[in-house]
A and B are shown apart, each in its own frame.
Chain A
Amino acid sequence: MAKMTLEQLRKLREEKKKQLDMRDPDNKQIHIVVGMGTSGIAAGAKDTLDAFLRCIENRGLTNVAVRQVGSFGLDYAEPTVEVVMPDMPRVIYGKVTPDVAEKIVLEHIIGKKLVENHVYDRPAADIVDKE
């Protein structure tokens, strides 16, 4: 490692900050929850997850957490994704291919509009939080 100048240090900080922000759980009000059950993975949920992460990174969104959970139970609509964010209803999207994932980031998270053709029902009532 060579000695750094002030500018280089500042550049390095910005760069590393982005990486660390991905890990920081604070200030993340938006959650993208990807169903990664066996059926989800078989239907391509891993690619979907990658697409979300890539898209978030490219857009420089720091307040979004992408997490993986087990199956939502909506196996006919895999890959399934739940999006939770303030001022928007909790929505479960189905058949989320990498293309749709990008659409969700652009339209739902940035544009605050539902991606109509991919909204599926919420999971059965008995496994939902009582709100």
Chain B
Amino acid sequence: MAYKQYVLICGGTGCESNKSDTIYKNFLSLLEKENLQSDVQVLKTGCFGFCEQGPIVKVLPDESFYVQVKPEDAEGIVNEHLIKGRPVSNLLYNKEQSKEFAKVDDIEFYQKQFRVVLRNCGFINPEDINEYIARDGYAALEKALFEMSPDDIIEELKISGLRGRGGAGFPTWRKWAFSKAVESDVKYIVCNADEGDPGAYMDRSVLEGDPHSVLEAMTIAAKAVGATKGFIYVRAEYPLAIHRLKVAIKQSREMGLLGEDIMGSGFSFDIEIRLGAGAFVCGEETALLASIEGSRGTPRPRPPFPAVKGLWGKPTVINNVETLANIPVIITRGGKWFSGIGTETSKGTKVFALTGKINNSGLVEVPMGTPLRDIVFNIGGGIPNGKKFKAVQTGGPSGGVITEEYLDTPIDYENLQKLGSIMGSGGMIVMDEDDCMVNVAKFYLGFTVDESCGKCSPCRIGGRKLYNLLDKISKGNGTMEDLETIKEIGHTMQKASLCGLGQTAPNPVLSTMRYFEDEYKAHIIDKTCPTGKCVDLVTYTIISDKCIGCGLCARRCPVNAISGEKKQPHLIDQTKCIKCGECYAACKFSAIEKK
């Protein structure tokens, strides 16, 4: 007997950390109590993408979209919605949707999205291979094994125009063709799941919500280039993704979709998981390979490229998670279908992790060529608290900022590069008027300096020098010559560094200098930070006319720098003040000035 209703609960890392697992268990036990377990199917899916509103619970067939659900809300949903058929209106995303046909499609966040990579995330139970199979899973593998030659597969990819989603945008078919052309007794397929950009989590979500799509794609790649062994290099910080991958690998091995003689085709391929310790440089392909081999994760000069000489000197295809997740769809629906999406040079869709000063943060998948404005203002719902938009950082620490005047640029690999940024893995951090660009650049450089492996001097020394210069500027000690030095070091690093980490490390500072020169000058010439983010340039003073002497600021001050009699204007001792801003936030009478 079929189920009458379905409860889909988000099981992504974000919602899981907000107790979605408890919600899931509550549903199960409540339904058992009401003896409804054969009528209602409860399942945990991958990420729905709308992380801002998590944990999310979706009830089908009504399509009610419950947001910010707490474990105790399960009872109300079971009693009211599942038993009595009345949606719990105060939990619905759009409160007016309490009427009968509440549609997920009505939510603006989803309207402009187009889901190819995330097609199964939030819809299937990722720990059940049957659900993936029901969504045409492993149909592409069938086709690749029984109906297509390796050249056919590569040709299909060529038609599709798919380019690497790890950042650089190298045509995927070409990488595969290089590997195929090399004669070798052993070849490898490696999935790069070492997602390290601050603010990016699309690869994690694909692994958590749809792990089989990656396994299927790797097997197809193996058939195309003649590989027998695959590795998924995933960082140990992603325990849920690792767990789901293990379950998926086990299930597909048991069904004979992985391992010896797949589906009786005579083709054999198996996959192992390798855990990374969370070093940013290990996302760079040659460093990643060194790490799999058991050495320290440092890059080596290319060529030879891994496609020709990779793991243990053998030809190795390395693709990023998102790239791979596209491949089964390309094989089943055809390269031509895929190339119909996107722009002239960038085909298909791109998943962005939208975070920062934005109302609807979450995972967003849009066709290539969608203007940034659509992503930030329509899907993302704009900037919170009525603040003004300042910039978007794309590509994480390897990218740069895009300012208001370029918001209408269609996003693709080339356009972003022209603006001095990059696509990168797809992290997108929105900044508002309160963010200081010097501070932002300093933050990213701090990250890349920490993560530099130290093998080549442009990156090791150049990065540190750049950081020190920015630190000097942010403390009000910078000179105009420093700006020239930054440019000089930056350009040298771009040319001379060994790998992508060093080559792109100066991007955030160069790009913020390009668009926000005034802000740098304010720090250097006027010795002020216009947004007040650089603590060394800020002073807090009490305006004695406005102070009523309530003493709240003095009580909040962690270092007892504020003194004064009751009902008398207080005073801040500048030598003691650590500029934490607690007093500024606490004062109810706007009596504290920040300058």
Q: Which chain A residues have a beta carbon within 8 Å of chain B's beta carbons?
A: 1-6, 9-10, 12-13, 16-17, 19-20, 22-25, 28, 31, 33, 35-37, 49-50, 53-54, 57, 65-70, 129
Q: Main SS of the interface on chain A?
A: mixed
Given contacts A12-B130, A69-B100, contact A25 B85 (CB under 8 A): no
CB-CB under 8 A from A66, the residues of chain B are 4, 61
Report the interface size for chain B: residues with CB under 8 A from the other chain: 40
4 shortest interchain CB distances as A-B pairs? A3-B256, A16-B134, A20-B134, A65-B61
B86 within 8 A of A: yes
Q: Is the CB of B138 within 8 A of A9?
A: yes
Q: Which residues of A contact B124 (CB under 8 A)?
A: 20
Q: Assess the A9–B134 pair: CB atoms within 8 A.
A: no
Provide a sorted-by-A list of 29 A–B residue pairs whose CB atoms are within 8 angstroms. Answer: A1-B251, A4-B263, A5-B264, A6-B142, A6-B265, A9-B138, A9-B257, A13-B138, A13-B139, A16-B130, A17-B134, A19-B2, A20-B131, A20-B135, A23-B41, A25-B63, A31-B101, A36-B85, A50-B1, A53-B4, A57-B2, A66-B4, A67-B61, A67-B100, A68-B5, A68-B85, A69-B86, A70-B84, A70-B86
Q: Does B146 contact A (CB under 8 A)?
A: yes
Q: Which residues of B contact A (CB under 8 A)?
A: 1-6, 41, 60-63, 83-86, 99-101, 104, 123-124, 130-131, 133-139, 142, 146, 251, 254-257, 263-265
Q: How far is the CA of A67 from the CA of B104 in the complex (A)?
A: 16
Contact of A1 with B255 in the complex, beta carbons under 8 Å = yes
A57 to B61: give the CA distance in the assembly, Å.
Answer: 15
Contact A70 B61 (CB under 8 A): no
B131 and A49 form a contact (CB under 8 A): no
Instruction: Please give, as numbers and ranges, the residues of chain B lying within 8 Å of A25 by CB-CB distance.
Output: 60-61, 63, 104
Q: Give me 20 other A-B pairs in contact (C-beta within 8 A), A1-B255, A13-B137, A35-B85 excluded.
A: A1-B251, A5-B263, A5-B264, A6-B142, A6-B264, A13-B138, A13-B139, A16-B133, A20-B131, A23-B6, A23-B60, A25-B60, A36-B84, A49-B4, A66-B4, A66-B61, A67-B62, A67-B100, A68-B5, A70-B86
Q: Please, which residues of chain B bring their CB within 8 A of the CB of A54?
A: 1
Residues on A with C-beta less than 8 A from B60 are 23, 25
Closest Cβ of chain B to A63, distance in Å, is 12
Q: A12-B133, A129-B99 in contact; A28/B146 too (CB < 8 A)? A: no
Task: Tell me, in angstroms, the Cα distance from A22 to B1 when the chains sit together.
Answer: 12
Q: Which residues of B contact A22 (CB under 8 A)?
A: 2-3
- Taking CB as reference atom, which chain A residue is nearest B133? A13
User: For the complex, what is the distance from the CA of A65 to the CA of B102, rounded to whole Å?
Assistant: 13
With A9-B138, A50-B1, A54-B1 as known contacts, state yes or no: A16 contacts B131, CB within 8 Å: yes
Which residues does chain A contribute within 8 Å of B61, judged by CB atoms?
23, 25, 28, 65-67
**A57 cross-chain contacts in B, Cβ below 8 A:** 2
Whose C-beta in chain B lies nearest to the C-beta of A6? B263
Whether the Cβ atoms of B255 and A3 lie closer than 8 Å is: yes
> For residue B86, which residues in chain A have a CB less than 8 angstroms away from its CB?
69-70
Closest to B124 in A: A20
In the complex, what residues of B have CB within 8 A of residue A24's CB?
123
In the complex, the chain B residue whose C-beta lies closest to that of A57 is B2
On chain B, the residues within 8 Å of A50 by CB distance are 1
Q: In the complex, A24 Cα to B139 Cα: how many Å?
A: 19
- Nearest-neighbor residue (CB-CB) of A38 within chain B: B84
Which residue in chain A gives the minimum CB-CB distance to B8?
A23
Give the docked Cα–Cα distance between A28 and B134 (Å).
18
CA distance in complex: A56, B3 (Å): 12
Across-interface contacts of A16 in B (CB, < 8 A): 130-131, 133-134
Q: How far is the CA of A37 from the CA of B86 in the complex (A)?
A: 9
Residues of chain B with a CB closer than 8 A to A37's CB: 84-85
Closest A-chain residue to B141, C-beta based? A9
- Residues from chain B with a CB closer than 8 A to the CB of A17 are 134
The CA of A15 and the CA of B254, in the complex, are separated in Å by: 19
Interface hub of B6, B85, B123, B139 (most chain A Cβ within 10 A) = B85
Q: Which residue from chain B places its CB closest to the CB of A45 in the assembled complex?
A: B85
User: How close is A14's CB to chain B, nearest CB, in angstroms?
Assistant: 9
What chain A residues lie within 8 Å of B4 (beta carbons)?
A: 49, 53, 66, 68
CA distance A68 to B1 in the complex (A): 17
Contacts of B251 in A (CB 8 A): 1
CB-CB < 8 A to B139: which residues of A?
A: 13
Give the chain B neighbours of A6 by CB distance below 8 A: 142, 146, 263-265
Can you name the residue of chain A whose Cβ is closest to the Cβ of B59?
A: A67
How long is the Cα–Cα vector from A8 to B43 in the complex, in angstroms?
A: 26
With A33-B100, A68-B85 already in contact, the answer to whether A4 and B1 are too (CB < 8 A) is: no
Residue contact B138 to A19, C-beta cutoff 8 Å: no
Query: Measured between alpha carbons, how far is A71 from B5 in the docked complex, in Å?
Result: 18
Q: Which residue of A lies closest to B87 (CB)?
A: A69
A24-B3 Cα distance, complex, nearest whole Å? 12
C-alpha gap A129/B101 in the complex (Å): 11
Note all chain B residues with C-beta closer than 8 A to A70: 84-86
**Docked complex Cα distance between A23 and B62 (Å):** 10
Q: Give the CA-CA distance A17 to B99 in the complex, in Å.
A: 30
Give every chain A residue within 8 A of B2 (Cβ-Cβ).
19, 22, 53, 57
Q: How far is the CB of A35 from chain B (nearest CB, A)?
A: 8
What residue of chain A has the Cβ atom nearest to residue B139's Cβ?
A13
Distance of A93 from chain B, by nearest CB (Å): 17
Residue among A1, A2, A25, A57 with most chain B CB within 10 A: A25
CB distance from A113 to the nearest CB of B (A): 25
Shortest CB distance A80–B (Å): 12
Q: Which residues on the A side are within 8 Å of B137 (C-beta)? A: 13
